[in-house]
Amino acid sequence: IVALTLTPALCATLLKPIDRQQKPVGGFFGWFNRVFDGATNRYQSGLTKILARTGRYMLIYGMLVIGLGYLFTKLPTSFLPDEDMGTMFTQMVLPQGASQERSIEVMGVIEDYLMIDEAENVESVFTVIGFSFSGNGQNNGIAFVRLKGWDQRTRDDQHVKAVAGRAMGAFSQINEAFVFAFVPPAIMELGTASGFNFQLQDLAGQGHEALMNARNQLLGMAAQDPRLAGVRPNGLSDAPQFKIDIDQPKAMALGVSLDDINSTFATAWAPTYVNDFVDRGRVKRVYVQADAPYRMMPKDLSYWYVKNNQGEMVPFTAFSSVRWVYGSPKLERYNGAPSVQILGQARSGLSSGDAMQAMSELAAKLPDGFGFQWSGMSLQEKQSGDQAPVLYALSILVVFLCLAALYESWSVPFAVMMVVPLGILGAVVFAIGRELSNDVYFQVGLLTTIGLASKNAILIVEFARSLHQQGQDLVSATIDAAKLRLRPIIMTSLAFMLGVTPLVLSTGAGSGSQNAIGTGVFGGMLSATVLAIFFVPVFFVVVYRLKEKKKP
C-alpha cells in the first residue's frame, strides 16, 4: 500500500530534473556513483560472456541445487531454539525412604554452589523440599534459580546453558542424590525442561516390572550413546510399600463391613473432617485422627479395632495380613497405555532432532511389546517437521500461479522460480555456519526468502520481457534489463539485509528466535542477490528459447 500510494508522492516531491550543465556530483556520493557505474559496466561485460555459455552455467546451477539438497539433509532439526530466559531449574532425587533431614542437607550443598561458585551469574535461589517435577515426596526437592540480568551476562560462558552445564559437572560429585540442572523450555506450557519428551509405553500389558526393566535398559543404552546427554526418568522410583490385605470372606463372617474398615483406616492414618465449632467468634474445623504413637509403625495395626454388626470390637489382625512390597508411588498412562516419561537432550553441537532420532533407534532395540510416543515440544516438533514440505510446496505453488497470471504464460514463471534454490542455499549455509537448526523460525525465514528472491528476479524478467516484445534481440534485451535493474536490486537487497542485521547479532532475551529468523533471511537474501544477478538472465534466455522452439 505504501509503495503504491505514498512512494509516488514522495518521488514527485523529492526528485528533481537533471541539469545537464550542472557540475558532476562530488564528495562521497560522486565517488560512490563512479564506483558503482564502473562495477555496472564490468557486470554488463561479464554477463555478455555468461549468456554466450548458458549451457555451462545451467550445469553449475544444477550442481548448486544438488549441493543444497545435501546441505539441507545435514541441517539439524528442532522445533524452537533454546532461549536464555534468565531462569534455571535444579532438581534432586534422593533414594526412596531418605529422610527430610538428608534432603535439606543436600539442598544446602546445591544452594551454596549456586550462590557462591556462580555468584557472578546467579541473582537468587528459591528451594522447595518435598516437591519436584518428577513427583512429591520427602526425598525430592527443586531449586528455582534466577540469573542476573542479560546486561550483566554478556559472555558466552554466562549463557544459561553454560551455567547449567557447569552446575551438572559440580552436582555429579554429590553421591547422596541424583542432582541435575536444566533450562526451562521456550514455551513453558509444553513441558518442564528443554530437550525431548519421550513416553515409553507397555503396549502388550506385560506389567509394571517389565516396563521398569525396559526403561532401565533404554537408559543404559542412552548413557552410552554419544549423541545424547542428561537422559533421565521423569517420575518417582519404586519404593517400599506397606500393604494390608483384607480377607473379605473372613471379615464378612465376623460381621465387619468394608465401609467400616475403610472409614477406620481413613480416620486412623489421615485426618477426617467431622464438624465445626465457634472459638472466640471464629468458625474452626474439627478433625479426628489417631494419636501419633499409635500410627507410626507397622505393628501399630494391632492396636486398632472395628465394630461389627453385633456391637463387638474386632481387631484388624483377625481379618487382615500385612507384607512389604515394592511398587510405584505414581502410575502413569499415556494414550491409554501404561508408560514412563524419559527426558533428555542432545550433546553440545547437536539439535533436539538428532536426539529424537537417537532415541527412536534405541527404542527399536527393546523387546517386543514396548513402543514409544512423543509428548510436549517433541510432539510439536515431529508434527511441524512433517508439515514443512507441504508448506514449502504450497508457498512455491502460490508464487508460481501469481507469476503465471502476471505473464499470461506457464513457461516464463520458471525463469523466476528457478532463483528460489539460490536463496535457500545461502540461508542453509549461514544456518550451518552459526550452528543453528531447522526450526519454526528458520522455516519462516525460508518462506520470506522465497518471496524476496522472486521479487529480485521479477525486476529483471519483467523488463527483459518488455524489451524483447518491443522487437529487441533476446540476449541484448536481457543484458539491458539486467544492467538497468542492477542498482534497484542491489540497493533494496542491501537495505533489507541491513534491516535484519540486528536480529542476526541479537543477544539477551529472545535472542534464540531472533538469531534463527535473522540469520536465515540475511544469508538467503545475500546469496539470492549475488547469484541471482548472474543466473536470472541465464534462466530467462534458456526458458524463452525453449518457449520459442515450441511455437509452430
CATH number of the domain within which 467 lies = 1.20.1640.10
Q: 449-468: b or e for each residue (b if 16 or more CB lie within 10 Å)?
A: bbebbbbbbbbbbbbbbebb
Whether 296 contacts 269, CB under 8 Å:
no
Q: What is the pLDDT of residues 94-119, one digit of tens each?
A: 887 777 888 888 889 899 999 988 88
Q: Which of 475, 481, 474, 491 is nearest to 457 (CA)?
A: 481
pLDDT at residue number 285: 92
Residue 16 lies in a domain: no
Same domain, 357 and 482: no
Q: Which of 393, 70, 352 is nearest to 231 (CA)?
A: 352
pLDDT at residue number 63: 93
- List C-alpha distances in Å: 286 to 272, 273, 276, 279: 8, 6, 6, 11
Same domain, 492 and 511: yes
Q: What is the pLDDT of residues 455-474, one digit of tens each?
A: 888 888 888 888 888 888 88
Same domain, 439 and 301: no
- Among all chains, which residue has been given the C-alpha cell 481387631? 315
DSSP secondary structure letters along 485-516: HHHHHHHHHHHHHHHHHHHHT--STTHHHHHH
C-alpha cell at position 95: 533414594
- Return the H-helix or E-strand segment holding 401: helix 376-407
Whether 375 contacts 197, CB under 8 Å:
yes
Same domain, 338 and 315: no
Q: Which domain, by its residues, includes 430?
A: 44-74+409-550
Please state the rounded mean pLDDT for residues 61-66. Answer: 91
Could you give the angle at the alpha carbon of 482 between the alpha carbons of 469 and 531, nearest 5°? Answer: 130
Cα distance between residue 368 and residue 370, in whole Å: 6
Residue 27 lies in a domain: no
Please state the rounded mean pLDDT for residues 307-324. Answer: 87
Q: Of the candidates 287, 306, 327, which is a domain's last residue?
A: 327
DSSP-assigned beta bridge partners for residue 344? 196
Cα distance between residue 57 and residue 54, in whole Å: 5
Residue 404 lies in a domain: no
Cα distance between residue 437 and residue 494, in whole Å: 25
Classified as helix, coil or strand, 275 is strand
- Among all chains, which residue has been given the C-alpha cell 547469484? 531
Cα distance between residue 526 and residue 532, in whole Å: 10
Same domain, 301 and 272: yes
Residue 30 lies in a domain: no
Q: Which of 511, 504, 390 is nearest to 447 (CA)?
A: 390
- Among all chains, which residue has been given the C-alpha cell 517420575? 235
Same domain, 416 and 497: yes
> What is the average pLDDT value for the chain, to the nearest integer?
84
Please state the rounded mean pLDDT for residues 115-128. Answer: 89
Q: What is the pLDDT of residues 353-364, one digit of tens each?
A: 788 888 888 988
Same domain, 232 and 339: yes
Whether 90 contacts 142, CB under 8 Å:
yes
Report whether pLDDT(550) > 70. Answer: no
C-alpha cell at position 137: 515426596
Please state the rounded mean pLDDT for residues 59-80. Answer: 86
Could you give the angle at the alpha carbon of 377 between the alpha carbons of 373 and 382, nearest 5°? Answer: 55
CATH number of the domain within which 307 lies = 3.30.2090.10
Q: How many domains does the chain have?
A: 3
Same domain, 310 and 362: no
Q: Which amino acid is at 160?
A: V
Q: Of the candidates 327, 342, 366, which is a domain's last residue?
A: 327
Confidence grade of residue 192 (pLDDT, cut at 50, 70, 90): low
Residue 413 lies in a domain: yes
Whether 461 contacts 536, CB under 8 Å:
yes
DSSP-assigned beta bridge partners for residue 338? 333
Same domain, 98 and 210: yes
Residue 472 lies in a domain: yes
Cα distance between residue 242 and residue 172, in whole Å: 32
Same domain, 422 and 490: yes
Same domain, 323 and 335: no
Same domain, 109 and 70: no
- Among all chains, which residue has been given the C-alpha cell 528451594? 127
Residue 247 lies in a domain: no
Report whether pLDDT(22) > 70. Answer: no
C-alpha cell at position 111: 544452594
pLDDT at residue number 189: 65
CATH number of the domain within which 137 lies = 3.30.70.1440
Classified as helix, coil or strand, 153 is coil
Residue 447 lies in a domain: yes
